[in-house]
Structure 1
Amino acid sequence: MKALSRFATRHRWWVIIGWIAAIVLIQVLSSSAGGARYKDDLKMPGTDSQAAADLLAKAHLAQQSNPTGTLVLHARTGTLTSEPDGFIQRADKAVCGVKDAHIATITTPWGQVACTSSDGRSDTAPRPDLLSPDKKTAIVEVAYNEAKPADTTPKVVYDHLKTLRSHTLQIEFTGDSFDSVDAPTPVLSPQVLGFLAAFVILAIVFRTFGATLLPMISAAAALGSGVGLIALLTHVMPVTDFTSALADLMVIGVGIDYALFIVTRHRRNLLKGMSVEDSITAALSTAGRAVLFAGITVCIAILGLCALGASFLYGVAIGTAIAVSLTMLASLTLLPAMLSLLGRRALPRSQREELPSDKTVKILLCVIPPVCVLFWALYLLQWALRPITTRRAARRATSNPTPLWTRWATLVQRRSVIAGVLAAAILAVLALPFFSMRIGHPDQSNTPASSTSRKGYELIQEAYGQGYNSNLQLVVAGPRATDKTYLNTVTDTLTGVPNVNTSSITALPISKDIALVAFKSISSPQDARTVDLVNHLRDTALKPLHPDDNTKIYVYGETAMFADFSASLSSKMIYFILAVVGLSFLLLMVAFRSVVVALTAAAMNLLAAGASFGAIVAIFQWGWLSEPLGLGAGGPIEAFLPVLFFAILFGLSMDYQVFLVSRIHEEWVRSRNNHRAVTVGLSETGGIITAAGLIMILVFSGFLLGNGLTTKLLGLGLALAVFLDAFIVRPMLVPALMQWLGNANWWYPAWLDKITPHVTIEAHDEPENTIPANASSLRPDPDKVSEH
């Protein structure tokens, strides 16, 4: 780390120019490649849904699996018994000739348009089943000609088809493909709001413009290069569209935090009297090592998502890990280079004036003879007044109150049992809703009430019943698929199954050995009864219909696919959690040479994760404050959110744990006094951890203003998690537990010490000769720290 620091400070301009060149090059390459091409890759090996999708693809019927969107037409006056205002022809002209719309067919109650080419269409028979019983509402199904349309495609379709609205015809767009399609563009993006919030907090903490700006520049550099690399990654592998928002969220949060810890340590070193270069080196050898360790831990936790076997999450994990790695690299290279340029201006003017300036005075005396007399006069005056200024400084020192975090650390030490029990009780109560969490796929009722997706969903619900929004199919494959008698048996069996809307059952042979049977549930797509229906059909109702291997019946459709996805991830979640926790435990154990510290860190992080996710269940699933926060009416938790949330949260929690415990361990190595180590560590890092936590809370909360339920839930959940971590777990629970455990914190068996590699987060060879004798006043007085 010293070599890296020396290189960054001595070749600072080359480092800065190198970063600028890298960002420009990455952005140019990204633009040359056509920008980002986000797409989903939802594959679930071993499930019925995947088997049906593979079967259709093998039979060259993959278009049956292509995504669809739903238009809801509602007559403000009269009925829709006949086609309103030449809708089919107008829709044909609106989108069939638009290249970026990628429309295959538009199916209406009055006929179908097949966009076979830019100048050729074919009409088919009407679909009266798409007209509601009261004839006032109609469904128009839009099918895409691509299995994975670009994320901009639904917006193009929406922009062209919304022009068909009139004062007599209401048209709304619903379904997953049209989610957030009409969301307004905020005046300030969540990223900009995050930077503004960070700027305000950093200005309060540092009280100097230069030091305030540097963490933001470091995060911006990582963001500029990271987003470009993620855009390039989308051309190599499938990357879902919320990856960019997640990477932005992580880079702004951890990037500013990492820089905050390094700059704070650098400023403290300057106040001890170190030179700028030595101060930067010492900061990187301590806080920089912690940043490196914390960043690696975050990347490991996020990349652990790849172990779930869900291809949908591969791009998310790799893209976010790339962004965090660049954030860590910027903090360890670009930031030291800029700190070197800033020099002592990293401190406020009042503190710079108090620093020794003997070297500056000598240079001026030698170089500028005309002012030598003036400097000597000032020097003699300062020497003559030294007793007076010394007495005044002493009086100020004795009259100044003990710093807030020193008082808090002392209080936690003296009342460790009360602080620990109180913090644990708060977390335990908040974690209770977690045990009622239901995994599933939220439907369009969880979009804002003003959105076209929610309006369309509610129009369908009122006209057809809530189950009409479900999308279920039976894929019959085998020699009996075209046998009308067999298909009648299948539909008759389906009719007798509870929670099936019998009027929605439609059988359609599509090839010589494949037939589709479409149907709807009575319950809504996100209802637990709909998932039970899928499981009942597979496990019980349909089993007697395919006793041999000649003909198979698969339950398919979007609703079944999401049910399979949820079940697949839920079954692997425990192994993922154990893997991430176990690996983090090993890293902390080796780094701090302590089994107890690593064990308590893992337990605290699990408790904090449970509490924060319990709050999410209460807010979203139970519906507490769900509507005011723009999260809709409340519903099940998206299947991939718990694992994604846990990976990110565990990584961020490890950040704060590393920064706190590394300082405690550093003091423990020096004094071998656990009570003093915990008190000093908390008093010196508590304020920075809470300031960093506050920055992250504001950054993450800003994403509630963004689009998409996933991004909003991640922002809300991470904001709550960081609040609990930075204001309850680290300043209360962890130090209280470490005070109570005493020297047992540092228990490490000798046999284990021999077989594990020696890795240290802190450097214990700081240049102490550059520290003034009175520097100890910057830490709590050991005589004032009660020990028991």
Structure 2
Amino acid sequence: MKALSRFAIAHRWWVIVGWTAAIVLIQILASSAGGATYKDDFKLPGTESQAASDLLAGANLAEQNNPTGTLVLHSGKGDLTTEPADFVSRAKAAVCGVGAAHVATITTPWGTAACTAADGRDDAAPRPDLISRDRTTAIVEVAFNEPKPSDSTPKVVYQHLKSLRSDTLHIEFTGDTFDSVDASTPALSPQTLGFLAALVILAIVFRTFGATLLPMISAAAALGCGLGLIALLTHAMPVTDFTSALAELMVIGVGIDYALFIVTRHRRNLLRGMSVEDSIVNALNTSGRAVLFAGITVCIAILGLCALATSFLYGVAIGTSIAVSLTMLASLTLLPATLSLLGRRALPRSQREALPSDRRVTLLLCVIPPVCVLFWALYVLRWVLRRATARLAARRDASARPPLWTRWATFVQRRSLIVGVFAAVLLAVLAIPFFSLRLGHPDQSNTPAASTSHKGYDLIRDAFGKGYNSNLQLVVGGSRATDKAFLTQLTGTLATVPDVDKASITALPVGKDIAFVTFKSVSGPQDASTVHLVENLRNNILPPLHKGGDTQVYVYGDTAVFVDFSAALAAKMIYFVLAVVGLSFLLLMAAFRSVVVAATAATMNLLAAGASFGAVVAVFQWGWFSEPLGLGSGGPVDAFLPVLFFAILFGLSMDYQVFLVSRIHEEWVHSRDNHRAVTVGLSETGGIITAAGLIMITVFSGFLLGDGLVIKLLGLGLASAVLLDAFIVRPMLVPSIMQWLGRANWWFPAWLDRITPHVSIEGRDDTEAPAKLEPLPE
């Protein structure tokens, strides 16, 4: 690490130019490749949903897997039995000629318009089932011609079709595809808000422009390269569309945090009298090692998503880990280069003036006697004033109380049992809602009440029943798929199943040896009873009807797909958690040469994760403060969010654990006094950890202003997790346990020491002298 830091300092302009050139080159390559082309590779091997999807693809019916959006028409006057004002022709004219809309067909109660047909409609057969019983509400289905429309596609359709609204015809847009299409664009994006909030906090911490700006530059450089590489990655593999937002969130947060820890150590070294170059080298050799180790643990945690064997998450894991890796690289190369340019201006002016001056006195001033006398008079006066000021400051310091974090660290040392029990009980209480966590897919009732998707959902629920919002069907494949007798038996059996809306059952052959049986549930899409309906059909009702033949019947549709997705992730989650926790445990054990420290870190991180999950459940499922946050209430949590959330949270928690324990371990190596080591480590890192936590909280909270429910929930969960971690776990629970355990913290069997590779996180601090330890303040 010393060699790397000295290289960055000696070739600082080359390092700065290199990063600038890398950003420009990567962005040019990404632009030349056509920008980012986000797409999902949503496959669930071994599930009924995937079997049905493969069956349709093999029969050249893959377009049946394409997403659809729902328009809900409501008449203020009269009924909708007859077509209102040439709606079909007007709808086709509005979107079919727009390439960015990617619309394939528009299915209405009065006929179907195909965007590939030359005339106004290709199917004039009426669909009375799309009109409500009171004839005031009708449903229009918009089918897209691509498997995964881009984020802008639904908004284009919305902007063109909302023009069909009138005083007598209200139109709302609902379904997953039209989520957030009418969301207003905030004046400041979440990313910009996060940067500004971080800038304010850094300015308060550093109190100098240069030191405040450098962490922002480091994060911006990593972000510029990272987003470009993610855009290129989308051309090599499927990457889902929220990857870039997640990468921005991570880079802004950890990038500023990493730079904060290094700059803080550098400033402390300068105040101890080190030269600028030696100070930077020492900061990189101590805090820089911790940054490297913490970044590796974050990448390991995020890449652990690949252990779930779900292709949908591969692009998220790889893209985000690339961005975090670049953040580490920028902190270890670009940051020391810019710090060397900044010099002593990394300190506030008052602290710079207190340091010995490194300016040379020009002897030429003494050539002219009047100037010489004046110069020495001013020099002596300045010396007298500085001595007087120093004495006054020394008297104030002697009577002043110790710094806040020194007092807190001393209090934790003396009252470790009380502080530890309080923190543990608080986290345990906050984790109680976690045991009510229900995985699934939230429907549009969880979108903001004023949104068009929520209004459309309510219109369908009131006119057709809430089960109409569910998307369920049976896909029948085989020789009996077009057998009327078999389909009659199938629909008759389906009509006897509880929670199936009998009036909604419709059998429709769609090709050779393939048929659909569409139906609706009585319960809503996200209700637990709908999940039980899908499981009952698959396990009990349908197998006897096609057992032993060449005909297969699969339960399919969006609702069934998300049931499979939730089950697949839930089955593999334990392996994912064990992999992430196990690898992190091994890394910490090798780094700190302690089994207890590694086990404590893993346990504390799991407890913090449970408490933050509890906050998500309380807000989203129980509805606490959900409406002001625009999160809805009463719905299940998307199945992939807990694993994604845990991967990010565990990595970030390890960051703070590494920074705290590395300083404690450094002091332990010097003094072999556990109580002193914990107290010194907490007093010197507590303020920086809480400042870094505040930056992360503001960055993550900014994503509550985003459009998608996924990003909102991630922002809420991660902000609450960092709040608990930075203000409860690290400054209270971890030091309390380490104070209580004493020298047992550093237990490491000899046989394990022989087979474990030696890894040094904190390196050697040249500013510390183990033989001269000052007593801790009383």
Q: TM-score, normalised by structure 1?
A: 0.96
Q: CA deviation at 1:379?
A: 4.7
Letter in 2 for 1:66: N
8 Å Cα contact 2:430/2:612 also seen in 1: yes
Q: CA deviation at 1:626?
A: 1.2
Q: CA deviation at 1:151?
A: 2.5
Q: Structure 2 CA distance, aligned partners of 1:379 and 1:665?
A: 45
* 1:360 alignment partner in structure 2: 359
- Flag structure 1 segments of 5+ consecutive residues without an equivalent: none
8 Å Cα contact 1:95/1:160 also seen in 2: yes
1:123 and 2:123 equivalent?
yes
Q: Structure 2 CA distance, aligned partners of 1:374 and 1:331?
A: 47
Q: Structure 2 CA distance, aligned partners of 1:226 and 1:239?
A: 14
1:161 and 2:154 equivalent?
no
Q: After alignment, is 292-301 or 15-24 more displaced?
A: 15-24
Letter in 1 for 2:777: K
1:412 and 2:433 equivalent?
no
Q: After alignment, is 110-119 or 702-711 more displaced?
A: 110-119
1:257 and 2:244 equivalent?
no
* 1:708 alignment partner in structure 2: 708
Letter in 1 for 2:659: F
**1:27-426 pair list within 5 angstroms:** 27-116=27-116, 122-357=122-357, 359-362=358-361, 364-365=362-363, 373-381=373-381, 388=388, 391-426=391-426
Q: CA deviation at 1:783?
A: 4.6
Q: Structure 2 CA distance, aligned partners of 1:29 and 1:509?
A: 48
Q: 1:136 to 1:399 in 2, by over 3 A?
A: same
Letter in 1 for 2:537: L
1:784 and 2:777 equivalent?
yes
8 Å Cα contact 2:92/2:120 also seen in 1: no
8 Å Cα contact 2:113/2:120 also seen in 1: no
Q: Residue deviations 1:608-636, cap 9 Å, x none?
A: 00000011101101111111210113310
SS for the counterpart of 1:356 is coil
Q: Structure 1 CA distance, aligned partners of 2:21 and 2:757?
A: 38
Q: Structure 1 CA distance, aligned partners of 2:553 and 2:562?
A: 18
8 Å Cα contact 1:480/1:513 also seen in 2: yes
* 2:615 alignment partner in structure 1: 615
SS for the counterpart of 1:122 is coil
8 Å Cα contact 1:37/1:151 also seen in 2: no
Q: Structure 1 CA distance, aligned partners of 2:669 and 2:725?
A: 26
* 2:457 alignment partner in structure 1: 457
Letter in 2 for 1:361: R
SS for the counterpart of 1:116 is coil
* 1:12 alignment partner in structure 2: 12
Q: 1:369 to 1:463 in 2, by over 3 A?
A: farther
* 2:486 alignment partner in structure 1: 486
Q: CA deviation at 1:518?
A: 0.5
SS for the counterpart of 1:609 is helix
* 1:675 alignment partner in structure 2: 675
Q: Structure 1 CA distance, aligned partners of 2:492 and 2:133?
A: 23
Letter in 2 for 1:750: A
Q: Residue deviations 1:58-89, cap 9 Å, x none?
A: 11111111111101111111111100111000
Q: CA deviation at 1:679?
A: 0.3
Q: Structure 1 CA distance, aligned partners of 2:679 and 2:710?
A: 40
8 Å Cα contact 1:441/1:637 also seen in 2: yes
Q: TM-score, normalised by structure 2?
A: 0.97
Q: Structure 1 CA distance, aligned partners of 2:512 and 2:388?
A: 103
Q: Residue deviations 1:210-238, cap 9 Å, x none?
A: 11111111111111111111112112211
**Identity, % of aligned positions:** 77
Q: Residue deviations 1:481-535, cap 9 Å, x none?
A: 1100000000001000000011111101112211110111010000000000000
Q: After alignment, is 21-30 or 174-183 more displaced?
A: 21-30
8 Å Cα contact 1:39/1:151 also seen in 2: no
Q: Structure 2 CA distance, aligned partners of 1:384 and 1:685?
A: 36
Q: CA deviation at 1:387?
A: 6.6
Q: CA deviation at 1:595?
A: 0.5
8 Å Cα contact 2:265/2:287 also seen in 1: yes
Q: After alignment, is 330-339 or 34-43 more displaced?
A: 34-43
* 2:756 alignment partner in structure 1: 756
Q: After alignment, is 584-593 or 327-336 more displaced?
A: 327-336
* 2:684 alignment partner in structure 1: 684
8 Å Cα contact 1:43/1:312 also seen in 2: yes
Q: Residue deviations 1:420-454, cap 9 Å, x none?
A: 00000000000011111100000011111111111
Q: After alignment, is 624-633 or 524-533 more displaced?
A: 624-633
Q: After alignment, is 151-160 or 457-466 more displaced?
A: 151-160
Q: CA deviation at 1:457?
A: 0.6
Q: Residue deviations 1:73-109, cap 9 Å, x none?
A: 1111111110011100001111111112111111000
Tell me how many residue pairs correspond in the alignment: 776
Q: Structure 1 CA distance, aligned partners of 2:608 and 2:386?
A: 53
* 1:566 alignment partner in structure 2: 566
8 Å Cα contact 1:305/1:314 also seen in 2: yes
Q: CA deviation at 1:396?
A: 2.2
Q: Residue deviations 1:335-376, cap 9 Å, x none?
A: 11111111000000000001111x4235x3479865665554
Letter in 2 for 1:22: A
SS for the counterpart of 2:359 is helix
Q: CA deviation at 1:393?
A: 3.7
Letter in 1 for 2:448: P
CA-atom RMSD in angstroms: 1.8
**1:610-689 pair list within 5 angstroms:** 610-689=610-689
* 1:729 alignment partner in structure 2: 729
Q: CA deviation at 1:35?
A: 1.7
Q: Residue deviations 1:159-211, cap 9 Å, x none?
A: 11111111111111111111111111100001111111111111111111111
8 Å Cα contact 2:285/2:765 also seen in 1: no
8 Å Cα contact 1:546/1:553 also seen in 2: yes
Q: Structure 2 CA distance, aligned partners of 1:200 and 1:383?
A: 36
Q: 1:368 to 1:441 in 2, by over 3 A?
A: farther
SS for the counterpart of 2:143 is strand
Q: CA deviation at 1:377?
A: 4.0
Q: Structure 1 CA distance, aligned partners of 2:319 and 2:389?
A: 57
Q: Structure 2 CA distance, aligned partners of 1:657 and 1:250?
A: 18
Q: CA deviation at 1:382?
A: 5.8
- Flag structure 2 segments of 5+ consecutive residues without an equivalent: none
